[in-house]
A = this chain, B = another copy of it.
Amino acid sequence: LTGVRKARAAETETALKAAAKKVFAERGYLNTKITDITAAAGRAAGSFYNHFASKEELLSALLSDLLAEVDDTVQADPDHDPDFTHRASIRYHVAALFAFYRANRTVMVALQQAAMVDRTFATRLAELTKPDLGHMAEHLEYVRRAGHPLPGDPLPVAQAISALMWGFAHTYLVDGDTGLTEEKAVDLVTDFIHRGIAGRPPDQPT
């Protein structure tokens, strides 16, 4: 009645997840074999199936962990400044996304790889970013109401901002060839967005 069994099982499940992240980072999700994971975790091949039905299901579990973390992060400050005419409000979001991507790059990259092969992951990954798009669109309404004409309707502009943020975060954190500190990288993206959505074009000053 000590529950040693359950504890052991939970331990190996954790070990398998940790080992998976490690080998995903080393050789990529798609190139990883189940025996790579069990070997890295120091368990027998058959042990894997006591915990996960497949490599996809393991990644699903990692995705769930990640979603739980996202919820925590977002709820960290539910009443942050909603006005995107303020540079600081934009920077808050950019910095949060960089921090998130940095903390979870292995799983994020694995998910992107899985999405290339498996429609299920493609849609789940899209749903991960979708609420954020809506959230951003709301912020953009403030800009519009403040009298600054957006470069388009809020939703497509939010998609453009999203492309910029995720794309640059990827270049910075995965490819790692920008030669910037994270501070500078965040500032650059922040300024770009700040001017891009609310700044006056240089040719046609009002």
A contact residues vs B (CB 8 Å cutoff):
28, 30-31, 85-87, 112-113, 116-117, 126, 146, 148, 151-152, 155-157, 159-160, 162-164, 166-168, 170-171, 175, 178-180, 184-185, 187-189, 191-203, 205
> Beyond the given A28-B116, A152-B180, A156-B178, could you list 9 further A-B residue pairs with CB under 8 A, ordered by the A residue number?
A87-B201, A116-B116, A156-B188, A163-B164, A191-B201, A192-B197, A195-B199, A195-B200, A200-B205
Q: A196-B196, A201-B198 are in contact. Are A159 and B168 (CB under 8 A)?
A: yes
Q: Assess the B202–A198 pair: CB atoms within 8 A.
A: yes
Q: Assess the A201–B195 pair: CB atoms within 8 A.
A: yes
Select one of B146, B178, B199 contacting A196, CB under 8 A. Answer: B199
Of A151, A166, A187, most B-chain CB atoms within 10 Å? A151
Q: Assess the B167–A163 pair: CB atoms within 8 A.
A: yes
List of B residues within 8 angstroms of A184 by Cβ: 152, 156
Minimum Cβ distance to chain B for residue A96 (Å): 18
Q: Assess the B180–A171 pair: CB atoms within 8 A.
A: no
Minimum Cβ distance to chain B for residue A177 (Å): 8
Minimum Cβ distance to chain B for residue A138 (Å): 18
Select one of B112, B148, B180, B202 contacting A156, CB under 8 A. Answer: B180
List of B residues within 8 angstroms of A116 by Cβ: 28, 30, 112-113, 116
List of B residues within 8 angstroms of A148 by Cβ: 202
List of B residues within 8 angstroms of A28 by Cβ: 116-117
